[in-house]
Each structure stands twice: as structure tokens, then as C-alpha cells.
Amino acid sequence: MNKYFVFVALLLVFLFNSSMIPSVSSPEVKLETILERYNSMDYEYIVNMYKEGKIPKDYPLFPYLVSVSLFKVSNYQEVLSFTNAKVGFDILDNTIKLLCAFSFSELGDFGKSQDLLKEYSEKPHLSYYDDLISYYRFRNSIFLEDIQSLVSLNLPSRLTMRDEEAVQVSRLILRYYTNQSLVLSLMKFLQPKVLKGEVLNNIRSSLVVLKTNIEISKELIRLGLTREGYTNLLVLSKREVERLYYRAMLLYLDRKMNDSLSIVNGIKKYYTNDEFASTVNISRDDVEILELNCLSEVLDRSKYNDFVLKKAPSSSKKVLANILSKYNLLLPEVHLVVIKSFLKKTDFSNSDYKYVRSFISYHLNEGNLEIVKKFSDWALGVARGTDWEREFLALKYVFTSSDEEKKNLVLRLIKFYPMTYEYYTILGRVKENVALFNLVTNELIGVYSEIKRSTNFNLEILNSFVGVSLAFKVLDITNTLDDDVKWALSKVSFKFDVYTITNTNTNTTKFPSYLDRLYSYGLVSDVHLELGKLNSRPDIRYVDIYRRYKAVSMMCKATESYGFASSFYFRRGVFLLYFKDYLYPLPYYDIVSISCSKYNVSLSLAYGVMRSESRYSPFVLSVANAVGLMQLIQPTGSSVGRRFLGFNRDLSLLDIYVVDRNVELGVAHIRELIDFFRNYPEGLKEVLVVSSYNAGTTAVLRWYRALNTSDPLIFVEGIRYLETYNYTKSVIENRWFYDIFVLDSNDNLAYRN
């Protein structure tokens, strides 16, 4: 009997080894699915399928897709198994080699990494990896102590240094303190936030023996070591005026304000001569800012404001910005003088806008409505024709009692700023004023008829026509919007230029043909990343090229980001409608609609939040560690999960990342906020909910109590956080667009085709 069992066992072993018994394996994943997940940047999925043996190894792109995915999920050891793998397309083959070089560096083999980088970075490769090439060259060089390379390297600004690298840089500074050019290069790599622990100790230890120069001293100041930097500059400077300034700065840092002011008053005489002032390293602005900083500490509020009032009209924008940063020291009328002086010198950039926002929101919260009224009246003339104008148009409308004047403000909003938050909010007010409604309606009918009769169209005229037709719908006058939009878009005539671009691999100005091959392989995400690298500011002149590679959404996003000021951009209303399908899609529709039905939340509001939070990308991770389509942080996700989804534990970030759960958590959180504000003024509920989604209820309630208003426009203008202000307007604009142009009143699809 035993011999029989042994015989059977041996026979089975023989049959198995000779492959006479077919092996049972799990089915392979379709290549279309792999490419779809890759292009969605779902690298975890591809790695899991690779480990389970479900990706066919005879697929030509197998080495590339898997090596990229392994690198993206930080599985560096397994990336190295593809060191000799080839796809048969030199750009991809060389990119695989670069991924191996990066992985060697991550695993601590800096020499091998550097050798591979030297060999393959000069060969054709995907250009969007260039920043990583620079980063790993830097990383390898600091750990190899390659002094020659470090002096000439630049770290890409969008990549941040890790703690271990900052420590190594500080050790090199301490070790090579006699090499001033190296120390200067190393200091430029550092950022103030890494100056802690061993890094800070090493830098301070090096200062004991370091022979500094002026540039190194300035780097110390940039890093936050101001006292050490100014002390060195005081010793190094040869000109009397510069030494006086640095001595005054040190006294200021020691809180000896009167002594510092005494020196500053002596310095000012040097700057009566413009020719002399241009030859010193200390600008007149720097001296004036130091003086103002000292005076803000030693003078009482009244005397400080008297000084500022005399100073402001002749001060530079830099000095005025310094004064505005101490807004809580300024009396309302003085603050008004300073902000007006500042606005006369502005270039209407985003960096300047924060001071305008701070002025308006601060005084609304302080109850200084008259100051805001004076400013908006004046600023309307200065900001005319800029993106800032719409805010001042809306504010002037709020503070104006004349229907005739209101009519003119409304008409300008309709013609030049359709589909903006101010546009929708002010039209809502027009409906409540019968006399004004009639005035506006009569004017709009005239504008509408005039444009329809015209034979000469440009984008601004068509933009105004869209604004008028949309206003008819919002005001419930007529609803010819569908036909009017089709008519307006049929009149859009746009000449698309011949597309040329610099190919960084070949230094030519011909359109890179390798993109066609990448696209034919189905590597759409790589094509889009290459387009973004090769042409950092995509625009609609090249729409045919972007359409060719299914990259129109990327182009639209860039156009929105950079604004509509350039002459070749579509005006806003026409642009949004022309590219509606790309700008306002309905991704994950079934998942979103199920959650919205479950929690009784408007589908348009849910999509409005999703668009502003993540731009429909499920893989977004913010600097605040908010994740996924609806951008939820871990505490909020866990709290909402317990209350609405029945979880009895805290959720991890990976739990929250899952698309269907992320959407449900986000929609449930909107429901939670709607319930929280259910007893608040009806007209305020939407802005309270939306702003709370971004800033939290604590801040929103603080503003609500300070503003003491039921006016949604005044509340939004009173939001103190610039990010929340922009976010709130953006979400509500999105909600309106989805309501009118994508969904009908029952949240059904209105214009699917």
C-alpha cells in the first residue's frame, strides 16, 4: 500500500516537472486597463498587478510601465531589476536608466547613481525628468563630497531638500569652511525652515572659524541668522554709510530703538545725493523701512500715524508695503491714504492684491464701512479694465443709493465680467428692486439687439453678448440662452498659429516627433507631462496640437491660471463656454450622484467644490495633507466617517484617498455644514457653508460675528484669509456654471452632447 502511494507521488512530481499538468494562474489584466491606470497615475495598482504576475511580460512597454510605477511608490530596490531592460525606443530606454540612477541614490549607492546620470542624462530622454536629474546630481554630490560639482549645481526651486540632505550640507559647510565659493553655494541650497537641530548647530559652529564675505553674510540673513549676518557685514563693509546702517540694524535687533533711530537720522543725509545713493549696497528704501520699524515701536499711535501720513505720498511701493503690513497700527483715514498711494504704484499683480484684500476685509470686520466706501469709489477708476475692477464695481453697488448709478455698474459687470461671483450676486439684488430691474432690462434689450444686428464681431463683443443673454436667464426675463450661446460660438473666429517649440533634447525648434510615438503607445500622461515641460505656458493658439494629444484640459487649466489679459486669450465668458466640456466635466458621475442623493446635497455644489479643491484629480495631496477629490484632512475625514458612514475608528489617509469613500465623505461634510448653518440668514447659508469647507467653522463664525451682516457680498468681502476668499467665490461660480450650462434644475444632465 505504501509503495503504491509512493509511486503515485513520484508520478505526480514527474508530470508536474514535465509540464504535462497545466498550471493554474490568475488571468492577466488587459493592456487597456494597465494603460488607463498608468495614465491616471494609479501606480499602486500597477505595482500590485506586477507582483501578482498579472501584467504580460511580453508586452513591449512592460519594463517602462513597471519601473516608473515602482519608482513612484518608492520601491527602489525592485526598480534596479530593470537596469538592463529595454523597450526598443531610445527615449524610454534611457529614461528607465535614469530611474535606476535615481533609485541607486535613494538606496545610498551615490557613485553608481552619479555614473549613470553622467552617461544617460545627455542622451535623449523624457524632458519632464530634468528637474529630478538636477536634484539627484545635487544629492549624489553632497554625499560624495564632490566639491567641484557642488559649486556649479543648482537645485530646482520646486523641489525641497530633505532633512538628511540639509544635515549633510551643514556638515560640509563646517568641514570646508575655508572654501568660500563652496560655502556660498551650499548656503544657497538651504531654506530657513531646515535651520534647526544639527543643521543650526553646524552653521553656528562654522561661523566661529568661517572667513565670511558679504555674499555669505547676506545668505545668513536670508536664513534667519540676522544678528550673525549683520555683525559680519558691519566688519566687512568698507563704506561708512553701510557700516552705520548695519550698526543701526543690530541696535534695532537688540530693541534699542532710540539709539538705532539716532544713527538712521545721520544716515539719511547721505541719500540727498541720488548719484551717491546709487553706488551703495543699502537702498534708500531699506533706510526708510528701518526708520519706520523703529518709530512704530517708540511713538504712540497718533504720532506714528502723523509721520506715516507725511511720508506715504512720496514713498516707494516697497516702503508702502512695509507700512501696510502693520495695518493694525494705522488709523482708518491714514490707512486709506497709504493704500491709495500704494495702488497708484501697483502693477495689479497677485502679490500686490493681498494688500488690497487685507485693507477691505480688515475695515469691514472693524465696522469701518465708510472707509471701504471711499476706497472702492476711488479705486474703481484706478482698476478699470483689470481683473480687480469687478470687486470694486460690486462694492460701489452696495454703497450706492442711486438706481441710475447702480444700473451703470450692473451693465459693466454684465458686459465685461460675466459668470463671476460678483455678476451672479449683483443680478440677484437687481431682481429685488423693481425700478432698477426695469432700467437694467431696457438697457440689456438694446445691447442684445445691437449685437445681433452687427456684422463685425470680436471676442469682447461676443463675451458681452453671452453676459447679456445669461443675465436674461438669471433675471427670468427670457430664456434664449441655449440658442444665443450656439450663435455666439459660431461667430468665434480664431487663427491658430503654426506650432514650434524648443526640444530640449536636440536644441531644435521643430515640433518634437517623439510625442507622436509616445501617444501611439498610449502613454497619454507622458505626452501631457512632456508638453508641460516643453511649453511651460500652454495657450489656446496651439489648441489643435493639444486636441491632437487629448491635452485640451491641460491647456484650459493653464489659461485659467494665467488669466485672460493677453490679446490672444479668449475673453472669459466665451472661453468657458467654448471649452465647457473640458473645463466642467462630470467625472465619477454615478459615485457623486449617489452620494448627493443620499445626503440631499446639490450635485452642482458637490462638483463646484470638487473642481476648486482638486480639479477632479483623485491623487492630489495638499501641503496641509488634505487628500483626494474632495481634499479632506484626516481629522475631518475621521469625524465625518464616524458620524455619517458608521466607522468606529479613525480613518488613515489611505482610507480617505479611496475615490468613492472620498466623495461620500466630502458630500457628507457639506451636509454637515448645511445642517450646522440651518438657522442662519437664508441669503448667507451658501457662503457660510462654502467658506467653512475651506477655513473651518471657527474662523467663519468669527467673521460672521464681526461683520454682523446678512449680505452675502459683504460677508465674502470680509473674509480675512485670501485663500478662503478666492476659494469661496470660485466654488459658487462653479456651482452656477454647473447649474446653468451642465445640469438642469433637477440635477439632470442638460448638455451631455
The DSSP line for 12-35 is HHHHHHTT-SPPP-PPPPPHHHHH
Residue 163 has pLDDT above 80, yes or no: yes
Mean pLDDT of the residues in the chain: 88
- CB-count burial class (<10 Å; 0-12, 13-18, 19+) for 54: middle
Cβ 171 vs Cβ 137: under 8 Å: no
Question: Whose grid coordinates read 523703529?
Answer: 294
Residue 700, all three cell numbers? 467663519
Grid look-up 479611496 returns 658
Number of separate domains in the chain: 2
Other CB atoms within 10 A of residue 656 CB: 25
Residue 696 lies inside a defined structural domain of this protein: yes
pLDDT bin (cut points 50, 70, 90) of residue 537 is: low
Share of the chain above pLDDT 70, in %: 90
Among 607, 584, 611, 612, smallest CA distance to 596 is for 607
Q: What three-state secondary structure class fits 247?
A: helix
Q: Which of 194, 250, 240, 241 is nearest to 217 (CA)?
A: 250
Lowest-confidence range among 180-184, 315-319, 358-362, 365-369?
A: 180-184
* CA proximity to 238, closest of 208, 207, 282: 282
Q: Which residue has the higher pLDDT, 546 or 356?
A: 356
Question: Could you tell me which residue, 491 or 160, shows the higher pLDDT?
Answer: 491
Structural domain of residue 721, as residue ranges? 589-742
Domain-terminating residue out of 215, 242, 269: 215
Reported as type and span, the H/E element at residue 477 is none
Evaluate whether residue 420 is within a structural domain: no
pLDDT surpassing 60 at residue 609? yes
Distances (CA, A) of 2 to 9, 10, 266: 11, 12, 110
CA 282-286-292 angle, to 5 degrees, is 150
Report if residue 99 sits inside a domain. yes
Greater model confidence, 226 or 540:
226
For residue 275, what pLDDT is reported?
A: 73
What is the pLDDT confidence band of residue 690, given thresholds at 50, 70 and 90? very high
Considering the domain boundaries, does residue 368 fall inside one? no
Does some domain include residue 306?
Answer: no
8 Å CB contact between 643 and 599? no
- Cα–Cα nearest to 395, from 412, 368, 417, 372: 372
CB atoms within 10 A of CB 555: 24
Overall average pLDDT of the 291-305 stretch: 96
Neighbours of 523 (CB within 10 A): 23
Alpha-carbon Rg for the chain in angstroms: 31
Does the pLDDT at position 452 exceed 70? yes
Q: Is residue 233 part of a domain?
A: no
- The total of other beta-carbon atoms located within 10 Å of residue 449's CB is 11
Last residue in a domain, options 167, 186, 215: 215
Dihedral sign from CA coordinates of 29, 32, 37, 43: positive
| Residue 167 counted as domain residue | yes
Distance between CA atoms of residues 563 and 553, nearest Å: 15
pLDDT of residue 570: 55
pLDDT at residue 539, rounded to an integer:
57
What pLDDT is stored for residue 3 in this prediction?
A: 43
> What is the pLDDT at residue 501?
40
* pLDDT at site 747: 54
Q: What is the mean pLDDT of residues 181-187?
A: 91
Residue 22: its pLDDT value, please? Answer: 41
Q: What is the DSSP-derived secondary structure letter of residue 632?
A: B
Q: Among 182, 215, 248, which residue terminates a domain?
A: 215
Instruction: Name the grid cell of 299.
Output: 511713538
Has residue 502 got a pLDDT over 60? no
To 10 degrees, what angle do helices 685-695 and 603-614 make?
A: 30
Expressed in angstroms, the distance from the first to the final Cα of the chain is 75
pLDDT at 620: 81
Cell numbers 556649479 correspond to 152
Confidence of residue 500 (pLDDT cuts 50, 70, 90): very low
Let me know if residue 83 belongs to a domain. Answer: yes
Question: What's the CA gap between 410 and 406, in Å, rounded?
Answer: 6
Amino acid in the structure at residue 77: Q
pTM confidence score: 0.85
CB atoms under 10 Å from CB of 262, counted, come to 13
Q: Which three cell numbers stand for residue 125?
A: 530622454
Q: Is the pLDDT of residue 41 over 90?
A: no
Closest to 696 in 3D by CA, of 673, 663, 722: 673
CATH number, position 661: 1.10.530.10
- Categorize the per-residue pLDDT at 479 as very low, low, confident or very high, splitting at 50, 70 and 90: confident
What are the tens digits of pLDDT across the range 212-255? 788 999 999 999 999 999 999 999 998 999 999 999 999 999 99
Q: What is the pLDDT of residues 329-349, one digit of tens each?
A: 999 999 999 999 999 999 888
- Where residue 512 falls among pLDDT bands split at 50, 70, 90? confident
Rounded Cα–Cα distance for residues 347 and 352 (Å): 8
At 376-393, the pLDDT tens digits run: 999 999 999 888 999 999
The DSSP symbol for 676 reads H
Q: What is the dihedral of CA 87, 88, 93, 94, to 10 degrees?
A: -170
- The residue behind cell 451672479 is 424
If you ran DSSP here, which 8-state letter would residue 73 be given? T
Mean pLDDT of 6-21: 38
Residue of 573, 571, 535, 566 lying closest to 551 (CA atoms) = 535
DSSP 420-461: SHHHHHHHHHHTT-HHHHHHHHHHHHHHHHHHHH-S---HHH
pLDDT in tens, 586-595: 999 999 999 9
